[in-house]
Structure 1
Amino acid sequence: MYKMTLNDGWAVCFEDLSWGADRHGEVTGRTDGWMEASLPCDIHMPLIETGVIEEPLVKDHFFDCEWTEHKSWWFRKTFRPSVETCSMNRVELVLESLDAEADIFLNGIMLGHHRSAFYPFRQEVKSLLREGDNELLVRVTSGLEAYDGEDMTRFKDRVGMEKAHNRGDIRRIFARKPQYGFGWDWGPRVATCGIVGDVYLAAYDDLAIRQVHAFTESVSLGKGGDNSGGANEANIRFEVEVEQFHPFASIEAHVEIRLSFAGESILTLSKSMPLHSGLNFVDFRYTLTGAKLWWPNDMGSPDLYTVFVSVSTGGHTASYPSFEMGIRTIELNQNPVNENERLFAIHVNGVRTFCKGGNWVPADSVYARITEEKYKSLVEEAKEAHFNMLRVWGGGLYEKNAFYEACDRNGIMVWQDFMFACALYPDDLEWFQEEVRQEMEYQTSRLRNHASLVLWCGNNENHWNFDMWKAANPDESFVGGAVCYNELAPRIVRRNCPEIPYWNSSPYGGEHPNGEDRGDCHYWFDAMMSPEMANRITPERYDGWNAKFVSEYGYIGPCRKSTIERFHAGEPFNREGRIWQLHNNLFEKDTVAAGIEMHYADAGGLDVDRYLLYAGLCQGLMYGYSLEAFRYRTDCSGGLFWMYNDCWGEIGWSVIDYELRRKISWYFVKRACAPVTLIAREVDGNIRVIGINETGKDIRCELEYGYVSFDGRIRSTSKTSVGLPAYSRGVALEFAKEETNRKEGCWFVTPGTNTAATEVLPAVLREGAVRDLNLASPTLTVRGFIRLKEDIQFTVGSDVYAHAVHFGLSDHLRLSDEYFDLLPGQSRTVTIYGASDIIGLEQIQPRAVQP
């Protein structure tokens, strides 16, 4: 294949929405009103560039962009086909993603209408190309204009949306595009529209390699280490789909697959065969000895092989773009826990995982401008926080390849929703079903080779909604969308990637979706969305939830101060003001202030810095404690909080804000997700300690455990030695809880020496709100300050219990740890990344929080 990219040199203009495809000639003849653009391009991007609109994610400017939904947008590109393109036998025009209703013209000829952002427009165009200049014209709209009130009647009160600040639109269910663009509780209404993927000409001679499916049928683990070594054996398989263009003659061909690792070729498979007219499917199977396996983050190395595929016919050779393959198997374990409950656990290479991480939403309200660098940074930050899973939520988009490639390389498993969220959908309409079928066929084939992809899920919360709507309306018979999730999706996943499990919905499992006894659950109404404020802000609520996999829950906290300054754009901070409230999550409902008042101080009189500190610590407390609570339960196999990242600057659910600043809560999540850790809870008057070792190495360590007063004067402890086997989670220690004053001290288990290089994090059980504890005033000391190339390292210690130790540095700096507690006499080594040229010892001024 020869590929001629057409991403540069576009022009875009707008007309009234009434200007349909029949007006294309008039638009082509326009000589003014055009803006320069390059692809991918959402219409907001050139409008911002030319000053027609302000950045919609700053202040309240998104309201000033609503007029864009009521226009037709026209993209024009003039190009000359290359010599290589014209010499080929077949030329196809490919537009990877069109948001959302589009008409495509080439040299004045209408090629067709396309109505989905979720699969490409592709058409053979060789006969339409001409020497010299060719013109490509595309009309796009935001996608809602075709649907009127009559269409909506049966969906009344069946489409979830937040109506405040003009967020939400019932018509979204008809548009196959990212639903979040019409507004959600955590994002503004910025209705996307444009050519949001690459555009190119694909030219072929005799044939095209349409698809390659590379997967692992089985693995046999070797002994020792993390089981990624030389004794592993894997049965791998490749399926090559080749289209041969001659309508009635076969041709002789040589099909070859090469596999390399770290740049070294390790395997070549080939077949000589006739290719028949049309589609051909060529299979290869091989048993690879000494296979390097792909493991999730913290469980082992996410090793990847590079796959090269080519087909030769006479003097021509067609090559498929090389890609990376991880050798691993995936299983969904739903074995019984008891007579009433079942597990919901992902097994990788036969090893049960605890899926820890967050829900992923598009990283910008204008998703066409998300860069590969932003994907890379976000996924690497997830890795450093010890995530091993991100759930791609069903109201966003099937992400760009750069996202999945970053997840592959960093060992981040992907739970992938199909793009349906919080609504009935009109799948009783033939055209809608066909759109969904093509979308699912394309996306399952596109993403299946990624080692990170471990689960396909039908939708977000729609089966749960079916159940609630049916309970409220017993005569309800229409379950719009069920055909998509219960029939189309499982059939297509089974056909295109049977090695990846399919799950109908999230939450799902049992007689009533969203129960504790089986499947996954969304823990909202008993916690953060409870009508009782105490339930929202009390971390111990999470100890009582007996779920087998928590795929959504959350708590709200502020982004960093520099990000708040960015979206205020010079306006003064006012927590009751318009800008602050527009960038405040719609479910916040005074929870942040209530959390501060319960745990730290009266919120009303706080200055901004103290408010942001306490609010961030509260969010960190809720996320850290809850993740520990889920990991503590050995029959629970996942905890994914809502949500990991942001599409704009907001006081909201995330732990990484829109400007890629780590929120205070990020550090709590990192500690709670540590691969080797101890978690303590009180059980029947005893302190029970769960030991977790997610690595492939056995660990033995010495432990000191007992009670210590906050001032360090009372220390009642014992010592023991425990083993933490590889890939294990279970009771490591249990000891009696002495009668003590909870306001004066805490119970703890802290490791001494261990036989592995991996750090073992201690367990601390502190009861009650921080503001109610009798904390002593700590003396914090810094020692061992050294420069390590680009980084700085030092050790901080305390004479007494110190809460939320932090350093008051610029919020764009990244530290290995911060906002941590120190026991009396304890110290911790901290690294500041990339700061060796800007930070000196005199700037390291540790401080603790004492409400």
Structure 2
Amino acid sequence: MQAFLSPSVSAVDSQWAMQITASGQFSAPSALNWQAALTAQPPCTAASVYRAANQALPEPLDQHDVWFQTTLTLPEDLAFLHFDGLAGPAQIFWNDVQIGQSDTMFMRCSLPDSVFGAQRSGTLTLYFPALNSLLAQRRPRPRWKTRLVEQQQLRWLRTSLLGRMPGWSPAGAPVGPYRPVWFERRQTWRISQHRLQPELHGNDGYVRFHAHIQQTQKLKRALLHVGPHSAELSILPQDAQRSELQGELFFPEPQRWWPHTHGTPHLYTCLLELEGENQHLMLPLGETGFRSLHADQQDGGYTVYVNDVAVFCRGACWTPADVTRLYAEPDVLRQHLELARDAGMNMLRLPGTMQFEQDMFYQLCNEMGIMVWQDMMFANMDYPVGDAAFADLITAEASNFLQHTQSAVCLAVICGNSEVEQQAAMLGQPAENWRNPFFAESLPALCQQWRPDLLYIPSSPSGGVMPFQVDAGIAHYFGVGAYLRTPDDARLSGVRFTSECLGFANMPEDSLLDRMHGNGDSPGAHPSWKQGVPRDHGTAWDFEDVRDHYLTQIYQTDAMRLRYADRERYLALTRRVTGQLMEQTLQTWRRAGSGCHGALIWFWKDLREGAGWGVVDAHGQPKAAYYYLKRSMATQAAFLTDEGLNGLACHVVNDSAQTMRGTLTLRLLRLPSSTTAEVSLPLELAPHSQWQQRADALLPYFMDTAYAYRFGPVSHQVAALHWQAEEDSAPAAAGFAFPAGHVLPAESHASVALQVVDQDAQQVQIRLCSDRFLQAVHLQANDGQCSDNYFHLYPGVPHTLQLSGVAANTRLQLSALNLNGALKLAFPAEAAVS
């Protein structure tokens, strides 16, 4: 018989109804009047159902009971009904009889066919009791209290803190079936548990496999397939209903999985082939890859090595693509992850305040070569791990996740929690209370059992004399940011690896501002605007105050006065200043000789409309900060750093697996367009390496490149470093420094030429060239997206970028910080733009 993929899975696609009622008002599903219900379709939450109906969600939701119901006819061959995720403690009813419950939203809830009894048709109801009624139950008090949440007893309940963290998390706590609901049908053989572990020994790969099989027919043969290779497995019968499989597959010289910045993320399809007397099945086991992973923690550092190559880990703390629904369609998730990958991000951290992601997230990260730092879902609180029932629940939760993600080669770090150790230490707890036995012993043991290939970190941050000190171990660095330190603090603080950093209230583009407030209305102190500006709960300031502090310092203006006197100038500066600080800090950490080997921005996407921490806005559109990060995180990058009295230093980084060959050019510019020095040198840079040299070593004589000695007036206002590959006619990377500061004279006579270099149905490649230096150029297409933005244009040096979604009549508007007015750019008449 020909092998085939098992047809044993089908979604529950019936229409659901949802109601929200007063806490404790009804004790049985049949007591509700379902005629007044809203239509729902899992995966969903109560908040997403109200959003779809364009109605206001009753708030606070945790004071209400939430009910979901559907009418079902169960398949005759039903084995299990699976709920991949129920947000909030839930009770499950079949025809008014409770048949199950879920105590954690972080683990699949599965009901066997036997619980449904003889009735094969009826109503399936999910009841989510008001969370506040559960929190009101008397339980032991914590040893410390956190300001992250208002209700300290949330530490007992295994649900997300989203919607429950005042200051930065929007209202609308997740409640409901936020992951798929599906039938598993009976089949001849079912994998009840398996372990698949790819390993590298030298240049060769081995895949160890072990599985428990439930069966209705005796197994005669079992084979494991990984890519082009196969291995026969040993069958160990346990009884008539169960067998055990074990074996090892040899894979000679596999192509390795790399983070995309350092190589190709090679993957291999895994299948389990089972054969009996008259059955032959191929069961998919997902895709996996081969890579080695270890961390060097000598002298308080933390350097991640992939395939024995040191990797500077950079990226962001991930936030859900749809924070209301907590589920995103595959194409939406792909768009977000492609945006992160294209920004040079090779690691995303899932913080312990939120959720585990859906399966597709890990599959796409596998495919795209993005490493995942996975916090377990614990944050800031004193969790009752000494309670036996709670300990059993979180142990099952962790085991389930580790087993479920066995094929996720992208998974690199398991972190016990977010800020538990920091919170305890900051509140004066003795050191023995910082880390409990679950994070110190139980969880690392589970990781060793199920994923021995992963790195384990007990808490983020941790490792210093105090958990929150930044010069050892894992840090949360907000010196540049919330603590208003000058940019050189990023170097002075000796950061080694920061899993949270550079949180700013990043201003979105005008299109979102107009959508929020109407054309021409200015963001300000109005409550509706301030809702989208994050703050730490209980503080007298917010992160807009932080941003305006740096705007005032760097651009030598009064941010508050500018906001009200000149809206356009204020928006122009405020968008750029946070990206500029991020870019400068990342370059400081990536420079040769830096002790820092990782930086994850806080965070990826805004949780609501406004100037949130996200580098993309609430609708997934990049903000200015995104483009600054894209250049500073690039696989091949060139940049300048200020080394004080030692002048400027030139840096070129090649993280890629290819040799860089080309020309490096250092230019010094006296505004508006006079190059006072220009020097070029051929440069060849090996894979996974970097180069640095003092600017003074390249120039023919001393030119005070950083304007450190200040002998007389500054001779140049701009220093530029351009890297141009052999085969390219325009620089592929560039870095800039402003020795006399970022406030440049206004320019009124610039001319910018636009050339179409290449085009296809999806995008157009253009080249811009200016006769004057233009600072932080913003290019706006009326119907398209730019691959780069907020970049500097050096006189006579072309800059290449791609436009997507443009039409034949597209007009581009170019603005810059030092340009009076804006330039209108049109495509050449001979360019037939698709």
Sort the TM-score into its range (normalised by shorter chain): 0.7 to 0.9
Gaps of 5+ in 2: 1-5, 536-541, 708-712, 820-834
Give the residue type in structure 1 aligned to 2:16. Answer: W
State the Cα distance separating 1:709 from its structure 2 match: 1.6
Match of 2:653 among 686, 692, 705: 692
Gaps of 5+ in 1: 55-63, 86-90, 163-167, 221-232, 261-265
2:686 aligns with 725
Q: Structure 1 length as normaliser, TM-score?
A: 0.86
- Note if 1:445 corresponds to 2:398: no
1:552 aligns with 500
2:212 aligns with 242
Give the residue type in structure 2 aligned to 1:658. Answer: A
Secondary structure at the aligned position of 2:543 is classed as: coil
1:257 aligns with 224
Match of 1:621 among 573, 577, 580: 580
Mark the CA change 1:355 to 1:563 in structure 2 (over 3 Å): closer, same or farther.
same
Match of 1:306 among 261, 269, 288: 269
In 1: Cα distance, 2:437 partner to 2:516 partner: 42
Secondary structure at the aligned position of 1:636 is classed as: coil
In 2: Cα distance, 1:39 partner to 1:146 partner: 25
Q: Structure 2 length as normaliser, TM-score?
A: 0.88
State the Cα distance separating 1:343 from its structure 2 match: 3.0
State the Cα distance separating 1:473 from its structure 2 match: 4.8
Mark the CA change 1:515 to 1:590 in structure 2 (over 3 Å): closer, same or farther.
closer
| Aligned partners of 2:234 and 2:246 also within 8 Å | no
2:815 aligns with 847
Equivalences, count: 787
State the Cα distance separating 1:193 from its structure 2 match: 0.6
| Aligned partners of 2:69 and 2:123 also within 8 Å | yes
- Note if 1:271 corresponds to 2:233: yes
For residues 267-308 of structure 1, what are the alpha-carbon distances to aligned partners after superposition, in whole Å with 9 as ceiling and x for unaligned? 222236243147655333233235222111221111221112
Mark the CA change 1:777 to 1:40 in structure 2 (over 3 Å): closer, same or farther.
same
Question: Following superposition of structure 1 onto structure 2, how do residues 330-479 of structure 1 map, counting pairs within 5 Å?
Answer: 330-334=293-297, 336=298, 341-469=299-427, 472-474=428-430, 479=434
2:822 aligns with none
State the Cα distance separating 1:19 from its structure 2 match: 4.1
For residues 725-745 of structure 1, what are the alpha-carbon distances to aligned partners after superposition, in whole Å with 9 as ceiling and x for unaligned? 110134345525623544842
In 1: Cα distance, 2:373 partner to 2:130 partner: 28
Match of 2:58 among 45, 52, 65: 65
Give the residue type in structure 1 aligned to 2:23. Answer: L
In 2: Cα distance, 1:757 partner to 1:774 partner: 30
For residues 444-470 of structure 1, what are the alpha-carbon distances to aligned partners after superposition, in whole Å with 9 as ceiling and x for unaligned? 11123112111111111111222222x
Question: Following superposition of structure 1 onto structure 2, how do residues 474-553 of structure 1 map, counting pairs within 5 Å?
Answer: 474=430, 479=434, 482-524=436-478, 526-530=479-483, 533=484, 535=485, 538-553=486-501
- Note if 1:93 corresponds to 2:81: yes
- Note if 1:580 corresponds to 2:538: no
State the Cα distance separating 1:393 from its structure 2 match: 0.9
Question: Following superposition of structure 1 onto structure 2, how do residues 644-659 of structure 1 map, counting pairs within 5 Å?
Answer: 644-659=604-619
- Note if 1:80 corresponds to 2:50: no
In 1: Cα distance, 2:324 partner to 2:779 partner: 35
| Aligned partners of 1:568 and 1:579 also within 8 Å | no
| Aligned partners of 1:251 and 1:276 also within 8 Å | no
Question: Following superposition of structure 1 onto structure 2, how do residues 36-75 of structure 1 map, counting pairs within 5 Å?
Answer: 36-51=39-54, 53-54=55-56, 65-75=58-68
Match of 1:824 among 795, 804, 829: 795
Mark the CA change 1:435 to 1:802 in structure 2 (over 3 Å): closer, same or farther.
same
Mark the CA change 1:368 to 1:819 in structure 2 (over 3 Å): closer, same or farther.
closer
Of 271-280 and 635-644, more deviation after overlay is shown by 271-280
Mark the CA change 1:142 to 1:15 in structure 2 (over 3 Å): closer, same or farther.
closer
In 2: Cα distance, 1:757 partner to 1:329 partner: 38
Secondary structure at the aligned position of 2:260 is classed as: coil
Give the residue type in structure 2 aligned to 1:615. Answer: T
In 2: Cα distance, 1:376 partner to 1:710 partner: 43
For residues 32-74 of structure 1, what are the alpha-carbon distances to aligned partners after superposition, in whole Å with 9 as ceiling and x for unaligned? 32332211121123333445x33xxxxxxxxx63143222222
Of 384-393 and 793-802, more deviation after overlay is shown by 793-802
1:6 aligns with 12
| Aligned partners of 1:97 and 1:196 also within 8 Å | yes
For residues 315-374 of structure 1, what are the alpha-carbon distances to aligned partners after superposition, in whole Å with 9 as ceiling and x for unaligned? 34454344121222221222x3xxxx2431111112111101111122333133432222
For residues 3-43 of structure 1, what are the alpha-carbon distances to aligned partners after superposition, in whole Å with 9 as ceiling and x for unaligned? 342242222223321146x534534xx45323322111211
For residues 136-188 of structure 1, what are the alpha-carbon distances to aligned partners after superposition, in whole Å with 9 as ceiling and x for unaligned? 222113534212385474356x22327xxxxx433332221111221353321
- Note if 1:120 corresponds to 2:108: yes
State the Cα distance separating 1:569 from its structure 2 match: 7.6
In 2: Cα distance, 1:216 partner to 1:804 partner: 47
In 1: Cα distance, 2:488 partner to 2:151 partner: 37
In 2: Cα distance, 1:66 partner to 1:127 partner: 35
State the Cα distance separating 1:791 from its structure 2 match: 1.7
In 2: Cα distance, 1:463 partner to 1:238 partner: 36
| Aligned partners of 2:654 and 2:685 also within 8 Å | yes
In 2: Cα distance, 1:594 partner to 1:13 partner: 47
Give the residue type in structure 2 aligned to 1:244. Answer: Q
State the Cα distance separating 1:478 from its structure 2 match: 5.0
Mark the CA change 1:574 to 1:806 in structure 2 (over 3 Å): closer, same or farther.
closer
Of 550-559 and 562-571, more deviation after overlay is shown by 562-571
Secondary structure at the aligned position of 2:381 is classed as: coil
Match of 1:747 among 719, 725, 735: 719
In 1: Cα distance, 2:19 partner to 2:519 partner: 32
- Note if 1:143 corresponds to 2:101: no
Identity %: 20
Secondary structure at the aligned position of 1:382 is classed as: helix
Mark the CA change 1:483 to 1:257 in structure 2 (over 3 Å): closer, same or farther.
same
- Note if 1:161 corresponds to 2:110: no
2:590 aligns with 631
| Aligned partners of 1:141 and 1:193 also within 8 Å | no
Mark the CA change 1:39 to 1:103 in structure 2 (over 3 Å): closer, same or farther.
same
- Note if 1:32 corresponds to 2:13: no
In 1: Cα distance, 2:715 partner to 2:776 partner: 17
| Aligned partners of 1:252 and 1:272 also within 8 Å | no
- Note if 1:815 corresponds to 2:786: yes
In 1: Cα distance, 2:295 partner to 2:517 partner: 46
For residues 183-227 of structure 1, what are the alpha-carbon distances to aligned partners after superposition, in whole Å with 9 as ceiling and x for unaligned? 35332121111111222232334541134443331154xxxxxxx
| Aligned partners of 2:315 and 2:346 also within 8 Å | yes
In 1: Cα distance, 2:640 partner to 2:474 partner: 25
Aligned-pair RMSD on alpha carbons? Answer: 2.8
State the Cα distance separating 1:625 from its structure 2 match: 0.9
Give the residue type in structure 2 aligned to 1:26. Answer: A
- Note if 1:592 corresponds to 2:547: yes
Mark the CA change 1:652 to 1:767 in structure 2 (over 3 Å): closer, same or farther.
farther
2:165 aligns with 183
For residues 750-777 of structure 1, what are the alpha-carbon distances to aligned partners after superposition, in whole Å with 9 as ceiling and x for unaligned? 3345479996523322235422x44655
2:830 aligns with none
| Aligned partners of 1:40 and 1:198 also within 8 Å | yes
Secondary structure at the aligned position of 2:781 is classed as: coil
Give the residue type in structure 1 aligned to 2:110. Answer: R
